[in-house]
Structure 1
Amino acid sequence: MSHLQDITPDRVQLRTIEELRMYETLGANAPRYAAAFLAQLPRARTVVLHRLLAALWRENVGAIRTASRRLDVSTHALDRADPSALSALLGGVQPGAWQVYELDGTAVLAFPIRAEHSFNNVEPDNPVLCLRAGEAIAIESPHDLVELLAEYEPAPGWRSFAAELADAVANLTLAYARSEEQRLALRQLAVQLHAPDTVGLAQMVSAREAPEDVMVFFERLNTEGHNLHPCGRGRLGMQPAALLRHDLESETSTDLILVGVRRERAESTPDEQGRDVGQLLCAEYPRLDTAIREHFGVDQRDPTGYVFLPVHAWQLEQVVRPLLADEIADRTVVPVPAARLAGVPTSSVRTLLTERSPVGRRLLVKTALDTLIGSTRRSISAHTTNNGPVYSRLLRQIIDREPVLADRIVLLDELAGASYLPLAHDPDPDRRSRALSALVRRNISAYLRPDELPVPGCALIARAPVTESSLLVELISRYAASRGEEDLGMVGLRFAEEYAMLLLPVTMILMTKYGIAVEAHLQNCIFTFVDAVPTRLVLRDWGGIRIYPPRLRRQGLRLDPRPGTVTVTDDVHVMRAKALYTVLSNHLGEVVAHVVARCDVNPRAAWQRIRAVLQGLLADLDADPALREDVAADRAVLLAPTLPIKAFVRMRLDPAGGDQYAQVRNPLHESGVHSCAPALARGRERR
C-alpha cells in the first residue's frame, strides 16, 4: 500500500516474488517483453484488484455489501450525517459516490463504484483507499487488499489465495505485454486487407483458413480469462519460462507426446468405432503408429498391450515422469518421445488444437495440466475422461429428438477418453490417475456451414484490436447496418433478445425435461453468426455437467456413468443451481451488462425480454402434463427474488469447504413487475 502523496505512476516497483520471477525470466529469455511487462504491470494489478473487489461484493464476503454504505461527497460540502468528516476527506481525493466499509472502529475501506449490474455485479473504480488514523492509504494491488482484509477478516485461506492472486497478476501482465504486440500486428494486417473491423478481418482469415484457425484467432483475444474470476489468468504451478512456451499468447506450438499405459492399468472409453484414444490418433496420424512400433521394436516388445494417451509436454516432464517414475521404470508406463503432435493452445490452455492430419483434419485434445487455473487444478479425473464420450452420445440423442434444438444446437463430441488406473494400495490414487489422462474431441470444422463465423462466447466481450471496441459491439453495429437501423440502443436490445432465444432453449429443455445441467457459461459456448445474426450455438466440455437421474428416467433414458462420479446427483437443487448460475449470471449477465454499457440499452428492458423468452419456453414445457410439477418448481426458482451463484472467493478462503454458493439479486424477478410478453411480440414484429 502507498500513501497518496507517494504514488508515482512513472515508476513501477516489483512487489511480489511472482512479479520478480516473471521479470527476471523475461530478461533472460524474452528481453523484448521486459519493458512492456513493467509498463503493463499497473494495469494488471488494477484489473485483478477490481475483479477481487467485485467478487467480494458479489459474494458478500465479510458482509462487505450488506454492511457497507454509500456516501455521496463533493469538494465543497460536508456530509452532516458523517460527523467524522469522512466525506470531506474523500471529497478531497475525488468527488462523487463512494462505497464505505468499516473494517472496525479504526479502519475503513472506501472505493468508488463506476457501474452496477444485475446479480450484484459491480465495476469498482480507482482509487481504492484504506482510511486509518486520519490518513488515506492507496490500495494498488490485490496483494494490498488481501493484506488488509486478512488483518480484519481472518480466514484460513488468505495466504494461499494471496499467492494465487499474485500469480494471476504476473501472468496477466505478461499476457498484456504479448497481446499488445499481437494486436498491433492485427491492426496493421487489417489496414493492408482493408478490413473495417475485427469481425471483417476474421472473415477474411476464414476465407483463407479453416474454421478452427478463426476459433484460435478469436480465443486469443480473451486476454483476461474468466470474466468474473479474479484469478482468471492464474497458472499456479507453472514457472514463467513454461508460460512463455505454453500459454495462450505463445507463438510456438506445444507438443503432445504419446505415453503408453498397460491395458490392465488403464481405464478407457473408446469411440463409437471401438477405437481407444491412441488408436483414434494413430488412425488420423499414421506416423504416430510408426513411431510407437519403432520405439517398442528396440526391445522387441508388442505395443498392442498398451493404451496410448496424448500428454502435454509440460505435464510429461514436470508431473508424469517424477510422479510415475516407478511405473516408467518397470514399463507399466512408457513415454514415446518420437510419437508427438504439434498443438496450439486454446483459451483453456490445456485443450490443444492438433496440427493438420495428412487428410487435412484436426482434433481437439483435452490434456491433464496439473496447474491451478481459476479455482480448479486442471488435471482430469477418470470420471471426466470416461464419462465424456458417454455424455456426448446421450446429449446428441436428446438434441436429435427435440425439434426446437435439432437445427440450432451443435455438440463438440468427446470421442474417446482414457486415464491411468492406480493399484488398490496406491498411496495417492486420485492425483496419479488425474495426472495421466486425456480426452479427444471432434473439431468444430466438422459441423460448420458455409458463411458461418464461429465466435467463442468468452471472446465476445474482449477488446477488439481493429476498432478498440469489443467483438460484441462490432457484431451489433453490423447487425444494425444490415437492417438500416441507427438506434444502437434498440438494436442492442433486439440482439440481446435473439441471443437469449438461441442460448436459453437448450438450457431449459435439458434442465427441466431431462434433468441435465450443462455449464453454458461464456467459455463453453461458441456462437455462429451469419451476417452478424446469432444463428447456431455450439456447446463443448462436459466436465462440469450435473445430471439428476429421476427427470432423465421419466423420458425413458438411462445412463451408465462411471461409479462415484460427481456429475450425477440425487439433489435437484445442485443440478438446477449449476444450470442457472452458469447461463444467467456468468453468461447472460455479462452480455447484458456489456450492451447496457456500450449500446445504452435499458437493463430492465433487456431482462424483461429475456424473462419473456423464458416464460415462453416454460409455457411450452408446461403443455406436457407429465412435466408440470417440474416446470412449476423450476419457474419458482427462476423468478425468485434471489438466485444462487458459485462463490469463487469463499471457496478459495475455505479450500476444504467444497462447493459454496452465494445468493444474489435476480433481475428476472425484478423485471417481472411489468408485462414483458408484448415487448417480445414487438421485437418479433420489428424483425
Structure 2
Amino acid sequence: MIRLATTGRLATAAAHTEAALTVHAPHLTDAFTGNLPTAADTIGRRLRAALVRENLTPETPGGRRHAFHRIEYHDAGVADPVELLTGIDTTGTFATEIRNAVINLAIALARADHNLPTADDPDTTAVRLERLAVAGHNLHPCGRTRLGWDTTDVLAHDLEAGHTRIHFIAVRDDTHLGDDLGYLLGIDPGKPGYRIQPVHAWQLDTVRTRHTDLFTDGTLRHIDGHLDAIPTAALRTLLLPGGRYLKLSLDIQVTSTRRSISIASTRNGPALSALLNRLIDDDPDGHRLLLMTEPAGAAVPAGTGRDLSAIARTGLTGRLQPTEQAIPGGALPHLIGDLVDQTGGNPATWLTDYTRLLLPPLLRLLGHGIALEAHLQNCLPTFRNGHPHRLALRDLAGLRLHPGRLHQAGHTLDLWPGSVITTNDTETLRAKLAYTALQAHLGELVIQLGHTHNLDERHAWHLIRTVIDDTPGLTTDDHTWLTAETIPHKALVRMRLAGTGDIHIPVSNPLHD
C-alpha cells in the first residue's frame, strides 16, 4: 500500500482532525492516524475505478474487468486520491468531497469495535450488520462524505457512534403540514393548537438559526426532553425502541445529496405504501416481500420546507419467523461466503435462488410503472440456514413512477404537486431499476461470489438472464431493453463534477445474447 503523503490538503485536513480527536476522543487518535493510509487507498481505488468506468480517464494496467465496464484495482496508485482528479475537477469541489470521505472513513475504521449496539431484535441486528460496510456505498467514492459535519459531529452522530438523540419542536397547527407524529410517538405538545415535530439532534441548531423569527412569534416552540435513538447507515434514518424508525431532515451532504427531506416525500410516503402493499398482495411472489412502509409523514413549509420534515417507517421486529435472519444488503458482500457454505457451498444454486427472490417482483412492478431503487442499501434480504427466503424493501424516496403505465395498469395515485419521482420517459424508469438492482446490487454479489467460491462471472450472468427470461408478467419491450447490447450506467463522478442530477452513460451489458 502507498504511504499517505505528509504534505498537501489531505495531510492538513488529517492534522486538524487529529487535533480534534486529541481533545474529544484521545483514545481514537492513534487508530485514526494508523488507518489513514487504508482509508485513502480505499477511497482512491473506488475513485480510480469510477473514473475509468465513466470514461474520464483511460484504463491503466493492473485492473480486473467485470460486467458493466467495471474495473477494480488492487490499489489507488496514488497516496492522495485527489491526485487522480488532476485536470478533471476544475473547481476543486469534488476534491473537497473526496478528502472529506477519506477523513471520515479513517475515523470509522478507528471506531470499528466501539459502541456496537446490543442486538436482540432484527432491526437492531440490521444496524449492527450495516457497520460491516464501513466504506459505505459499494460503488460511490464518496460513501463516507459528511460535508457539514465537523469531527465532533461525526463522533456524536455517525453510524459508529451507536446512538444519537431525537428532539422535539411544537409547531402551530396552521403552519404544520401532514400527520401528527407527536401523537404516534406519545409526545404531548403541552399547549392546545400545536403539534409535535421530531428533529434530529444535529439539525436542531440549524432550525433554531434559520427560523429564529418563527420561535420569536410563537409559530415554533421548544419542547424539553428527547428520545434516544440508533443511527442507521442512512444517518438521517434513526431506529427507535420497538423496531420503529424515523427519517428526519439532516442538512448535510452524504455521497451526492444533501439529506434534508422535501414536503413531497413526507406526503407521498403513505400513498405509495398503500399502492405497493396492494400490488405486493396481488403478486405471485408477494408472500416473499416485506415492505417497510411509510405510514405517516409531516413537514413545516416555512423557508424551503425541508428543514423540519420527518417520515415514520415500520420495521421488521415481530414480522420474522424464529429461524429467519434479515441481513442489510450493504453487509451482504461481507457475509455471502458464509451464507453459501451454509446451503452446501454451491454458488450457482445460491445465486439463482437469490435472483429469483429479488428480480421477478421488481420486474413485474416495472410493468405497472414503478421502478424501485433496489440497490443494496435499500434491501434487507432474509435467510433461513443460508437460503434466500424473503426480501424486505425500504425507503421510497428514490423510486420512479411512470404515470402512463400506472394509468394503463388501472392505478390512480394522488402525489404532492411537482413530485420529482414521476417521469414520462420509459428510459429513465427502466434505468432506475437496471442500475440499482442489476449493477449496484447483483453486480456486487457476482463479484464477491467469484472471490469466495470461484464462480465464473459469465456463467453467473447467464443464470441471472435465465431468471429474467422465465419471469412471468415481464413485458416484451422491457425484456428487450434489459437484455440489449448496452445498458445505462449511473455516472456518479460525472454527476458530482457537473453538479447536476442523474447522468447516465452506456456500458456493455452481460445479459445481452
TM-score (norm 1): 0.72
Equivalent-residue separation in structure 1 for 2:332 and 2:245 (angstroms): 21
Q: Tell me which of 169, 175, 181 is aligned to 2:102.
A: 169
Q: Tell me which of 119, 122, 130 is aligned to 2:71.
A: 122
Partner of 1:364: 245
Q: Look at both structures and tell me which one has the larger radius of gyration over its CA atoms.
A: 1
Equivalent-residue separation in structure 2 for 1:15 and 1:503 (angstroms): 43
Equivalent-residue separation in structure 1 for 2:413 and 2:342 (angstroms): 44
Q: Secondary structure, in 3 states, of the residue corresponding to 2:306?
A: helix
Equivalent-residue separation in structure 1 for 2:501 and 2:374 (angstroms): 21
- Residue 526 of structure 1 deviates from its aligned partner by 0.2
1:351 aligned onto 2:237: yes
Pair 1:320–1:534, CA change in 2 (3 A): same
Q: How does 1:593-608 map to 2 (within 5 A)?
A: 593-608=447-462
Q: How does 1:129-144 map to 2 (within 5 A)?
A: 139-144=78-83
Q: Tell me which of 629, 638, 651 is aligned to 2:495.
A: 651
Partner of 1:320: 207
Equivalent-residue separation in structure 1 for 2:388 and 2:105 (angstroms): 30
Q: Tell me which of 576, 592, 605 is aligned to 2:430.
A: 576
Pair 1:127–1:239, CA change in 2 (3 A): closer
CA contact (8 A) 2:4 2:79 kept: no
CA contact (8 A) 2:300 2:309 kept: yes
Equivalent-residue separation in structure 2 for 1:649 and 1:337 (angstroms): 43
Equivalent-residue separation in structure 2 for 1:369 and 1:529 (angstroms): 32
CA contact (8 A) 1:569 1:575 kept: yes
Amino acid of the residue matched to residue 599 of structure 1? H
- Residue 350 of structure 1 deviates from its aligned partner by 1.0
1:258 aligned onto 2:168: yes
Q: Tell me which of 49, 61, 72 is aligned to 2:44.
A: 49
CA contact (8 A) 2:4 2:40 kept: no
Q: Secondary structure, in 3 states, of the residue corresponding to 1:407?
A: helix
Equivalent-residue separation in structure 2 for 1:10 and 1:383 (angstroms): 44
Equivalent-residue separation in structure 1 for 2:168 and 2:361 (angstroms): 36
Q: Tell me which of 53, 58, 62 is aligned to 2:53.
A: 58
- Residue 521 of structure 1 deviates from its aligned partner by 0.3
Equivalent-residue separation in structure 2 for 1:555 and 1:446 (angstroms): 33
- Residue 220 of structure 1 deviates from its aligned partner by 1.8
Q: How does 1:4-403 map to 2 (within 5 A)?
A: 9=3, 15-16=9-10, 17-61=12-56, 64-65=57-58, 68=59, 99=60, 112-113=62-63, 115-126=64-75, 128=77, 139-146=78-85, 148=86, 150=87, 153=88, 158-179=91-112, 181-182=113-114, 209-251=120-162, 253-268=163-178, 270=179, 276-282=180-186, 288-289=187-188, 292-293=189-190, 302-303=191-192, 305-317=193-205, 319-338=206-225, 340-354=226-240, 356=241, 361-402=242-283
Give CA deviations for 1:572-600 in whole Å, capped at 9, x if unaligned.
21111111111011101001111012210
- Residue 537 of structure 1 deviates from its aligned partner by 0.1
Q: Secondary structure, in 3 states, of the residue corresponding to 1:366?
A: strand
Pair 1:416–1:51, CA change in 2 (3 A): same
CA contact (8 A) 1:49 1:230 kept: yes
Amino acid of the residue matched to residue 406 of structure 1? G
1:477 aligned onto 2:381: no
Amino acid of the residue matched to residue 395 of structure 2? D
- Residue 217 of structure 1 deviates from its aligned partner by 1.7
- Residue 12 of structure 1 deviates from its aligned partner by 5.7
Amino acid of the residue matched to residue 163 of structure 1? T
Amino acid of the residue matched to residue 29 of structure 1? H
- Residue 126 of structure 1 deviates from its aligned partner by 3.5
Give CA deviations for 1:152-201 in whole Å, capped at 9, x if unaligned.
x4x55x4110110000000000001110x34xx99xxxxxxxxxxxxxxx
Q: Secondary structure, in 3 states, of the residue corresponding to 2:82?
A: helix
Equivalent-residue separation in structure 2 for 1:346 and 1:223 (angstroms): 12
Give CA deviations for 1:631-675 in whole Å, capped at 9, x if unaligned.
1221121011111121111111111x3321111111101xx3xxx
Q: Tell me which of 411, 429, 438 is aligned to 2:291.
A: 411
Q: Aligned residues, how many?
A: 512
Give CA deviations for 1:202-244 in whole Å, capped at 9, x if unaligned.
9xx86xx222221122112221100000000010101110100
Q: Secondary structure, in 3 states, of the residue corresponding to 1:342?
A: strand
Equivalent-residue separation in structure 2 for 1:521 and 1:127 (angstroms): 25
Equivalent-residue separation in structure 2 for 1:646 and 1:126 (angstroms): 23
Give CA deviations for 1:123-147 in whole Å, capped at 9, x if unaligned.
113462xxxxxxxxxx21212222x
CA contact (8 A) 2:342 2:386 kept: yes
CA contact (8 A) 1:502 1:536 kept: yes
Q: Secondary structure, in 3 states, of the residue corresponding to 1:434?
A: coil
CA contact (8 A) 1:59 1:663 kept: no
Which structure is higher in helix share?
1
The percent of aligned pairs where both chains have the same amino acid is 38
Amino acid of the residue matched to residue 404 of structure 2? P
CA contact (8 A) 1:112 1:127 kept: no
Any unmatched runs of 5+ in structure 2? Answer: none
Q: Secondary structure, in 3 states, of the residue corresponding to 1:447?
A: coil
Any unmatched runs of 5+ in structure 1? Answer: 1-6, 69-98, 100-110, 129-138, 187-201, 271-275, 283-287, 294-301, 423-428, 462-469, 481-487, 623-630, 673-687
Equivalent-residue separation in structure 2 for 1:569 and 1:22 (angstroms): 43
TM-score (norm 2): 0.96
Equivalent-residue separation in structure 2 for 1:349 and 1:597 (angstroms): 30
Partner of 1:621: 473
Q: Tell me which of 476, 494, 504 is aligned to 2:359.
A: 504
Q: Secondary structure, in 3 states, of the residue corresponding to 1:621?
A: coil
Partner of 1:105: none
- Residue 447 of structure 1 deviates from its aligned partner by 1.9
Give CA deviations for 1:378-401 in whole Å, capped at 9, x if unaligned.
111111111111111110011011
- Residue 441 of structure 1 deviates from its aligned partner by 0.6
Equivalent-residue separation in structure 2 for 1:660 and 1:395 (angstroms): 27
Pair 1:395–1:538, CA change in 2 (3 A): same
